[in-house]
């Protein structure tokens, strides 16, 4: 199976710059090797479809509402995302958990809403530096997985994705540095075993956190690493092109 590489542009770009970067991606990036997904912010999703058309690049969203259509000021529905051609949706990113206080119950509802609308949830989990230092990473991750996946049922292994992103490794943290690929492989194996018990399916697990052209291949070479979630480096054409080759 192709590895999956997701570009998470976060809220870094204007609509104009997003469309320009997407246009450049369509010219430079080949999608025969890996499955490649671009996640621009909501305002861009309505415009980017025609730019990506025919390129093989797929569309993802960075979040979705936990509710169906209704009185939810400021939210964006799964239905509308689906109708814009979105295939994947990032759920429970650490920035949303920490800065916007998203909790596991909400994340669980969002996963269900995505599945109900045939969007593929990309559930993010990761430990903070404190859990790492206290040596409780695995227990912590297991708790996050159990809470987020409570009652969730999927039909096939490709219906849901987990992104393992150690929070201390995300490039926006001042002292961030990527995890070593062998360390990542060990945690991925752990997540794989635990999610298989919860979901009865062997889902794909991506690595995220300071992925660069220098380390991407070493992560992708790991057996239990099914792909990458790339933030900062996905904003630069040259870097991202090197990551996805």
Distance CA 223, CA 39 (A): 25
Minimal distance, residue 46 CB to ligand PGA, in Å:
23
**Residue 60 or residue 231: which is nearer to ligand PGA going by CB?**
231
CB of 123 to ligand PGA, least distance (A): 13
Distance CA 20, CA 108 (A): 34
Judge whether 165 counts as a catalytic residue. Answer: yes
The alpha helices in the chain, defined as continuous H runs, are: 15-28, 42-52, 78-83, 94-99, 104-116, 129-134, 137-148, 181-199, 216-220, 237-244
Cα separation, 229 vs 5, in Å, equals 6
Rounded Cα distance, 103 and 130, in Å: 19
Distance in angstroms (rounded) separating the CA atoms of residues 44 and 134: 41
Please state the φ and ψ torsions of residue 58, each to the nearest 5 degrees: -105, 165
Q: Provide, rounded to whole angstroms, the least separation between the CB of residue 37 and ligand PGA.
A: 12
**Shorter beta-carbon distance to ligand PGA: residue 80 or 178:** 178
For residue 138 the two structure tokens come to 């695995």
Query: Taking CB positions, which residue lies at the least distance from ligand PGA?
Result: 231
CB 90 within 8 A of CB 60: yes
> Residues 102, 165, 185, 188: which is the catalytic one?
165
Chain positions contacting ligand PGA, by CB under 6 A = 8, 165, 170-171, 208-211, 229-233
User: What's the min distance (Å) between Cβ of 3 and ligand PGA?
Assistant: 16
**β partners of residue 60:** 88
We find the least distance from the C-beta atom of residue 17 to ligand PGA, in angstroms, to be 17
Catalytic position from the list 93, 127, 131, 188: 93
- In degrees and rounded to multiples of 5, residue 175 shows phi and psi of -100, 20
CB-nearer residue toward ligand PGA: 66 or 125: 125
Query: Smaller CB distance to ligand PGA: residue 40 or 209?
Result: 209
Catalytic residue at 101?
no
Of the pair 97, 185, the CB lying nearest ligand PGA is at: 97
Q: State the catalytic residues.
A: 93, 165
């Amino acid at each position: 199976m192709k590895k999956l590489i997701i570009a998470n542009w976060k809220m870094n770009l204007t609509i104009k710059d997003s469309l320009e970067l997407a246009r450049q991606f369509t010219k430079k990036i080949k999608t025969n090797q890996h499955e490649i997904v671009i996640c621009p912010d909501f305002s861009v999703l309505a415009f980017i479809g025609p730019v990506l058309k025919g390129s093989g690049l797929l569309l993802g969203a960075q979040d979705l509402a936990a509710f169906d259509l209704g009185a939810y000021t400021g939210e964006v529905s799964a239905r509308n995302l689906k109708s814009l051609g979105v295939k994947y949706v990032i759920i429970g990113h650490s920035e949303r958990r920490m800065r916007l206080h998203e909790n596991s119950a909400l994340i669980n509802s969002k996963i269900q809403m995505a599945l109900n609308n045939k969007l593929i949830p990309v559930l993010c989990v990761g430990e903070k530096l404190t859990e790492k230092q206290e040596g409780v990473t695995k227990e912590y991750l297991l708790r996050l997985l159990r809470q987020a996946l409570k009652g969730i049922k999927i039909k096939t292994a490709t219906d849901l994705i987990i992104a393992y992103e150690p929070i201390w490794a995300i490039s926006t943290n001042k002292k961030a540095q990527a995890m070593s690929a062998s360390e990542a492989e060990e945690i991925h194996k752990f997540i794989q075993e635990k999610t298989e018990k919860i979901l009865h399916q062997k889902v794909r697990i991506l690595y995220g956190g300071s992925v660069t052209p220098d380390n991407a291949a070493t992560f992708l070479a790991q057996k239990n690493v099914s792909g990458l979630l790339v933030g900062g480096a996905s904003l630069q054409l040259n870097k991202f092109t090197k990551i996805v080759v």
